[in-house]
Each structure stands twice: as C-alpha cells, then as structure tokens.
Amino acid sequence: MLTPEAAFAKVLEVARPLPPRRVTVREALGLVLAEPISADRDYPPFPRAMMDGYAVRFADAGRTVPVAGEIAAGRQVDIELADGSCIEIMTGACCPPGTQAVVQKEHVRREGDAVALPAEIAPGQHIASAGSECRRGQEALPVGTIVSPLAAAVLASFGVEIVPAIPRPSLATITTGSELAAHGEQPTPVQIRDSNGPMLAALAAEMGIDASIAMTVPDRFEDILDALAAAAEKDLVLIAGGVSVGTYDYVPRALERFGAETIFHRVAQKPGKPLLLARKGGQLIFGLPGNPLGCHLGFHRYVAAAIRRMEGKPPAEVYRGRLLQTIRPKTGRAHFVPAQASWSNDGWQLQPQPGVSSADVFHAAAANCYLHIPPGPVEITQGNDVEFSLFSC
Ligand code: AMP
Ligand code: MG
C-alpha cells in the first residue's frame, strides 16, 4: 500500500500536460499559454498624453502663452509645437512633435485664449513615450503564463483573438452501486440517493470543467464495462464506488478487462483507502471510494493534482496553521481531517470538523480545508502547527 506522498508523486508522474489547442481568449481564461505572445507594435504606439492639460515647451515655464489648438484622444493633428505657445491636449491623445512635457489642467491658470504655466516643468512629465511600455516584437506573455484578465487585456491590445493554450481535460464520471436510487426516484428503505455524482460534478465545476458524461450504474460487471467504454474518448474518468474488496466491487476487475494498466490501488490514508489509479493509452482513470468523504478527499488531493498537471499547472499550495483542538488519530494511517481554517493576525487557525466516519459529509460540510496529519497514532495537541490544504470554496 502506497503512502499518501508516494501516491501523490505517482499522480504527478503519470498525468501529462495535454496537447495545446487553439482557443478564443475567452475560452483561454485560466489556461496555460503554450506559445509566447509578442507585441504587434510599440506600446504606446505614439507619445501619449497621460493627463488632460497642455502640451508645452520648457522654455515657457512660468510664462503665459497662447493656446494654439486642441488635440482630443484619437485625433490626428498636423501641428508642430514651437516655443511661445502650447496646445490643449486630452489624456490618451498623441502629443504633437516638439512637445517636451504635458502640464496638468489643474496646474495652469486659463486666461481667455492663453494659459499661465507653472514655474517648474519636469522634462517628459505626463508623457508616455512611444514603446516605453512594450516594444514591437517584445515577448509580453511567456509560455506558461496562466491567462488572467490582465493577460486578456494584453491579448486584446495586440489584436490577438485566438491563442494556443493547454486545454482542460474532458471528464466523465461514473457512480456505481446497486443501492443508489435512480435519479428523481424516491429511495426504498434500503436505498440511498447518489451524492457522489453531484459532488464530483461540483468539484469539477470549481475547476472550470464540465463532466460531459455522468453515469450511474449498478454493481454489475457488464454495466461497469459498458460505462467505461462509453467514456473511452474522455481524458479523465472518475469511477466512484465498487473499488474495494467486496464481492460486488467489480471496478478493479472491470478496469483490467477494459485493458487499463493499474498504477496503484489503495493508499494508506483515512479517509479514502480504496483509491485506484489506472491508465489506458492517454486516458487516466481514478477509482474513488464510494464513501462520500473518501470520494471527496480522493478528488481534492489526487484528481485535482492530476487535472492541474494535465493543464500544465503546478500542484495547489499546502499551508501551515495552528491547531485549535487536540487531534487523536484512531489508526496509524495518515489522516486528512476536515477543518475550518480562519485567518487571523497570528496566521491560520484550524478548527477540526471531523466526520464521524468516512461516509459523513454532514459534519464535514462546514469545513474549508483538510488537515494533513502524519501517520502514527500520535496525538497532536492544541497549539501545534500542522499542514493543511484549502478547498476551492
Ligand atoms: P463502496 O466503495 O462501493 O463499497 O461504497 C462505500 C459506501 O459508500 C457504501 O456505504 C455506499 O453505499 C456508499 N456510496 C457508494 N456510492 C455512493 C454514492 N454515489 N453516493 C452516496 N453514497 C455512496
Ligand atoms: Mg458499492
């Protein structure tokens, strides 16, 4: 049985960045750029006035000079500025040749068709010279940039509408269990509703992924095999339940028949020991525990890392914080304990919200992180520091 660290390392080793695709800037938000983006021209493309005011010459500092004209943003004007005059100019307009500085409107006194200029004028003040922000051909967004709203602004500036980016993986979910009532049906006294399917869809949605195939199947070998076949085109398949050692836990055998190679099966952790990772060609298949909390941890810790890797991103950060309540592990396995992390001036404070079992999502629903409690039945007392990983929301 692998340790959680070894299983995590295996996930990062087996998951590979997906081949880049050309997508619209809108679709690229949150994706990793696969090629550098360079400037199509100098930015700004012309000496740009940074303030509403007057384009002036230094020689006229402290003098009153006539206003020879006006230049609004976006207007091309054929005027050359000479000593002894100034031109009214608006923010974003092109400074006329001969401009040495722009004086803010608030810093002059207008007297009819003339303005009294301040005594102090700094060279180049309030002018962004051509190319001062970015040179034509300069790499503005390197490979590996995650397309953010600011990156979208850069792309829009350059007139780029389609970008090569590493896509999000396509996803199918399969929830298994003959005890699961059909969607929309009243469960019998010995049935339950499928909560793993909606939870996995929500976890995927938080990462911007739509589970385009979501199936629920009973514990029947053929049905599981059919579901795997129906998901064969997807980059990633999550199959929850039936992964353990019960008589009707067909998933490991079905994966074998399906032709998938098992990378690992079972991880020394609580919750979520019956975790399985398999690969078929370029497809990754996770077998997740049916127990809802184990299923959640399996996604939070392992599936999310695989998704980030497939998207060309590093794993999510692990933090440290102070325990507000002593934890006494009941097994020697590594524990991932749901907890509420809150930020204070002293750093992160961690209030454990343990479920009563790995089926119990009800206590855990108030949590926003998992504490990483190392293996060994060693109590960790209140006030000590532990590692934790935050949920997305
Ligand atoms: P299994 O991993 O199939 O042995 O299931 C372990 C526990 O999780 C059992 O109590 C199942 O009833 C429960 N379970 C399995 N699948 C689901 C599901 N989709 N939604 C809620 N509970 C489930
Ligand atoms: Mg089951």
Verify whether ligand 1 is closer than 6 Å to residue 289 (CB atom): yes
The pLDDT assigned to 358 comes to 86
C-alpha of residue 189 to centroid of ligand 2, in Å: 17
- Angle (CA) 210-213-216 rounded to 5° is 125
Ligand 2 center to residue 359 CA distance, Å? 12
- 242 C-alpha to center of ligand 2: Å? 4
Q: Domain locations in the chain? A: 4-18+168-310, 21-42+134-166, 48-128, 319-390
Instruction: Please report the pLDDT score of residue 354 as a whole number.
Output: 82
185-190-192 Cα angle (round to 5): 50
Question: CATH number of 319-390: 3.40.50.10470, 3.40.1360.10, 3.40.605.10, 2.40.340.10?
Answer: 2.40.340.10
Query: What does CATH list as the number for 4-18+168-310?
Result: 3.40.980.10
3-state helix vs strand vs coil in the chain, percent to 5: 20, 30, 45
Distances, alpha carbon 240 to alpha carbons 83, 296, 354, in Å: 79, 10, 22
Over residues 210-268, the pLDDT tens digits come to 999 999 999 999 999 999 999 999 999 999 999 999 999 999 999 999 999 999 999 99
Homologous superfamily (CATH) of 21-42+134-166 is: Molybdopterin biosynthesis moea protein, domain 2 (3.90.105.10)
Confirm or reject: Cβ of 291 under 6 Å from ligand 1: yes
Q: Which CATH number fits domain 48-128: 1.20.1050.10, 2.170.190.11, 3.30.460.80, 1.10.10.1100?
A: 2.170.190.11
By C-alpha distance, which of 171, 172, 197, 203 is closest to 182?
A: 197
Measured distance CA(296)–CA(190) in Å, rounded: 23
194 lines ligand 1 (CB under 6 A): yes
Confidence (pLDDT) at 11: 98
Please answer whether residues 290 and 217 qualify as being in contact, where contact means their C-beta atoms are separated by less than 8 angstroms. no
According to the model, what pLDDT value does residue 213 have?
96
pLDDT profile of the chain (393 residues), mean per 10: 97 98 97 98 98 98 97 94 98 98 97 97 97 98 98 98 98 98 93 97 97 96 98 98 97 98 97 97 98 97 98 97 93 93 95 89 95 90 97 85
CB 72 near ligand 1, within 6 Å: no
Kindly report the protein residue whose alpha carbon is nearest to atom 23 of ligand 1.
290
**Ion ligand 2 residue ranges (Cβ < 5 Å):** 177, 241-242, 290
Q: Which ligand is nearest to the CA of 178?
A: 2
